[in-house]
Structure 1
Amino acid sequence: MNLHHSSDPRLWNLESELRMFALDDPRMTRRSALRLGLLGGAGALLGAAGLMQAAPAPRVPVVAAPQPRAKSVIQIWLWGGPCHLDTFDPKPTAGSDYAGPLTNPIGTNVAGMQICELLPLLAKQSDKYALIRSMSHGSNAHETAAYTVQTGRASGGRDVFPGVGAVVSLFKGYDAGYKGLLPPYIVLTELQGRFSESGFLGPRYKPFATGGDPGAPRFLVEGVVAPGLSEERQRARRELLHQLNTLERATSRGDPRLAAFGQCEQDAYEMILGDAGKVFELAQEKDDVREKYGRNTFGQSCLMARRLVERGVPYVTINYKGWDTHKQHFPIMRRKLPELDRGVATLLEDLSARGLLENTVVWVGGEFGRTPKVLWEAPWNGGRGHYGKVFSALVAGGGFKGGHVVGASDARGEEVKDRPVHPCDLIGSMYELLGIDPEARLPHPEGLDVRAIPSVAADVKRGGRLSEIM
């Protein structure tokens, strides 16, 4: 299951087929089995093992910034773009055309800081996080905005740059000595789908998307947990696999190619039947803990993220959909915001109680904000459009100081009023906290000099690192 030990995507496909066979997956065809040599195709397996000699992914020296404070990141990606006025930057005096019915923001446990009235639990945790109210990039399209927020670079040009998770996987993952069987970059539960997360770094640094639903009675992680299949049946399938693997029995045990392939198989079964895969068994948590997070997909994803960083996974993304509210915005907010409130507030409290918040960055935000002026007319009927001029983000832990507000928007939330913060500013700040040199060179396939964040000479807007909260 450890898909990141090999840089060759063909081998990953073979590993996937191995998992399908072991899990009795209906996608496992006779042709797939033959490719693995499981039905006596010795030559086919030898060819597969030969892929171990394929050229490795480009390597670069891992350069650490002084005194890293964070070990992991939990990114809560509000897919579609949440409205800044209705979350972390309320404007109650702007009138109903801007605030709509949400005109009673609440105070927090930090004097002078207010947030939306539908976030009462987060209001009690504001000493643990900072709000950035002056995020900006100017793009109003999902694809280009998501790319810019995730990479710190403008869209277009000849290269597709890697997102934050892929860069963290490069500098904090296997190349930097990460030993875990769990992949170093995990997405709950499906990829964002707006761009290639790994960019030119290639498939070695793509995230592992779990699939499934953490809020279901059983979290069916793709390739790890099979519906309707017991551990006993899985063990029996593994024994049958070994019995059919005539090539391994007939070949010297000292062959490094077969040894490497065998290690992949061993790691896969450790994920399926061993302790590594137990991290996905949320039933191990007490019922009151699960209830506190919220018995829904998002709440249980937050709990799952805590379990993953507790195991040392460097980067976890929760892809939380439903924020593209062109129509019926306020009824949707009355459903979504309490769910967000409960999940994030409990996550911050839980991380803090376990001593994990000090070395885990929590980043909450989406690709942009939404139009400050409500679209009351048909067909929107109280919706909000895309808005990249100004939006908000929440950051906590890992060296970020809680109880602070960075920047400000104007009285209606239409323009940045003070201290503009651009995506590369936030990303560069997170890299520093993680001990990643923002000027570190990335392994470009053509040998170009590309740094972790754009150089000053690049045509990228910037307002400076978030030194006031670091």
Structure 2
Amino acid sequence: MNDSSPAPRASATPLGLRLSLPMTRRDALRVGVFSTAGLLLGHGRAAGATSAPPAVTLPARPPRAAKAKSVIQIFLWGGMSHNDTWDPKPDSGYEYMGEFRNAIPTNVDGIQIGELFPKLAQQADKYSLIRSMTHRNNGHETAAYLMQTAHAPGERLAYPSVGAVFAHFKSAGYKGLIPPYVVLTQPQGRFSEEGFLGPRLKPFATGGDPNAPRFEVEGVISRGLTEARQKARRELLGKLDTMGHAFADHPQVMASEEARQQAYELILGPGREVFDLAREKPELRDRYGRHTFGQDCLAARRLVEAGVPYVVINYPGGWDTHSNHFATMRRQCPQLDQGLAMLLQDLKDHGLLETTLVWCCGEFGRGPKVDWQPPWNGGRNHYGNVFTSLVAGGGFKGGHVVGASDKRAEEVKDRPVYPVDLLGSIYALSGIDAAATLPHPMGAEAHVLPAAAEGAKSGGLLTEIMT
């Protein structure tokens, strides 16, 4: 079965233990995720201020200069097979490799990847592969939480995802009109990405389809409403606002007008232009691929070009290939290959790769031994013992492989890398202190990443590929 449906919503608890409420674009406007502009667009009030937790004394850490200004996370939700893709084992036999028995060389001597990735093979000098990711968790929700927070699921606190943490720490210096944490195009709902940080740090999910003739971003692009008609409505609203004219010098009215102007800059001005992929040359769009994922990648490049700190691409369709595995891989891998390879090249061409960190993986891998029994008939099941992640840019070196799996890709053979190591490296390259405190609404002590004293398994930061 291909479990492509988002998990059901769960109710909130006082400590934010299970807030599985993915934010719609309308929700984002309502809670004011557009900063002051959200007050106008959502016709609601922003979330109330919360008190900071008590100060906690932590060991001093040497400062590290931030190299990554923005992050693009490509989340292969459902879990992509590692030995069919970026950790092939051609000598492991049909029981393990199934239909994909070949590995192909890359433009870096000694590195081979799966046969369905010829375009990424020519970009290997721009990325590194971590072939020893591990956490041994095989549940979608719990593994997704672990991979995106590094905190163990089931603790008393529901921690925010890496994207929400970025939005929290980067918002102060961010002046863009678009929210600092954007999801293309739908949240997966596997867990509450904002955690205890609250609804203001939910991701702004665009909705729509960037491969459609018109990328209809909810809250920004109105279906069936032309730009001229939107402008006419704006002018009419201004004429009818007699109270605003009468009390134009009142501080609250002035603040409301400022919010209104910011909102319209997003809807009708530069903010909207970021999502207008028609501004790109058709030839470039073709190179990304005229499919949803390819155009997601192009939209992500435009978002980081506009300064958005954190962008997530939730792969459309997912990779939960218990059945129809090989058919799904033949359909989706070429699209992943095309879109991701072009994203890396395009970031390089725009001078953005050095300051944009890209990471790509799922919550786990897939079982290295094919399940040929009914009802799977050649599927692969959840597998968290060992899997592969791809990292590039933003201070990560290209052309390297970290760690290794064994001869059948069943276990880590060398240099285990845990979620805390991967996320800790991403935070370090982005200038975020992994030991920093996070503001819990009830004053509970909480830090960006767990420490060894909390039982977090670690193999150390990825210093071998960090510049």
Relative to the length of structure 2, the TM-score reads 0.88
Equivalent of residue 400 in structure 1, options 387, 393, 396: 396
Equivalent of residue 77 in structure 2, options 76, 79, 97: 79
The answer on 1:433 being equivalent to 2:429 is: yes
* Cα deviation 1:172-216 (Å, max 9, x = unaligned): 12x2x2111111110000112101111011111111100000000
The one-letter amino acid paired with 1:464 is: G
Which residue is 1:338 aligned to?
334
* Cα deviation 1:67-109 (Å, max 9, x = unaligned): 1111000000111100010111001111111011111100111
**In terms of mean alpha carbon deviation, does 108-117 or 64-73 score higher?**
64-73
Tell me the distance in 1 between the aligned counterparts of 2:32 and 2:409: 49
Which residue is 2:353 aligned to?
357
Tell me the distance in 1 between the aligned counterparts of 2:291 and 2:80: 19
Given that residues 7 and 56 in structure 1 are in contact (C-alpha distance below 8 angstroms), is that contact kept between their aligned partners in structure 2? no
Alignment of 1:157-306 (within 5 A): 157-173=155-171, 175=172, 177-251=173-247, 253-306=248-301
The one-letter amino acid paired with 1:375 is: D
Which residue is 2:49 aligned to?
56
Specify every segment of 5 or more residues in structure 1 that has no aligned partner in the other structure, as ranges: 21-35, 37-47
What's the offset of the Cα at 1:56?
2.9
In structure 2, do the counterparts of structure 1 residues 282 and 10 end up closer, same or farther at CA, with 3 Å as the change threshold? closer
The one-letter amino acid paired with 1:276 is: G
Specify every segment of 5 or more residues in structure 2 that has no aligned partner in the other structure, as ranges: 1-24, 56-60
Tell me the distance in 2 between the aligned counterparts of 1:141 and 1:69: 33
Secondary structure of residue in 2 paired with 1:392: strand
* Cα deviation 1:354-378 (Å, max 9, x = unaligned): 1100010000100000011101111
Which protein shows a greater Rg?
1
The one-letter amino acid paired with 2:287 is: K
The answer on 1:319 being equivalent to 2:341 is: no
Given that residues 364 and 393 in structure 1 are in contact (C-alpha distance below 8 angstroms), is that contact kept between their aligned partners in structure 2? yes
What's the offset of the Cα at 1:19?
4.4
Q: Which runs of 4+ in 1 moved over 4 A?
A: 10-20, 57-61
* Cα deviation 1:311-333 (Å, max 9, x = unaligned): 11100000103200010101111
Secondary structure of residue in 1 paired with 2:300: helix
**In terms of mean alpha carbon deviation, does 241-250 or 339-348 score higher?**
241-250
Given that residues 64 and 437 in structure 1 are in contact (C-alpha distance below 8 angstroms), is that contact kept between their aligned partners in structure 2? no
What's the offset of the Cα at 1:353?
1.3
Which residue is 1:28 aligned to?
none
The one-letter amino acid paired with 1:315 is: Y
Secondary structure of residue in 2 paired with 1:442: coil
The one-letter amino acid paired with 2:429 is: L
Q: RMSD of the TM alignment (CA)?
A: 2.4
> Matched residue pairs, number?
434
Secondary structure of residue in 1 paired with 2:417: coil
Secondary structure of residue in 1 paired with 2:266: helix
* Cα deviation 1:265-317 (Å, max 9, x = unaligned): 21111111112210111000001100000001000000000011011110000
Given that residues 16 and 223 in structure 1 are in contact (C-alpha distance below 8 angstroms), is that contact kept between their aligned partners in structure 2? no
What's the offset of the Cα at 1:383?
0.4
Given that residues 64 and 436 in structure 1 are in contact (C-alpha distance below 8 angstroms), is that contact kept between their aligned partners in structure 2? no
* Cα deviation 1:325-356 (Å, max 9, x = unaligned): 01010111111110000000000011111110
Identical positions, percent? 59
Equivalent of residue 9 in structure 1, options 27, 31, 34: 31
What's the offset of the Cα at 1:257?
2.6
The one-letter amino acid paired with 1:296 is: H
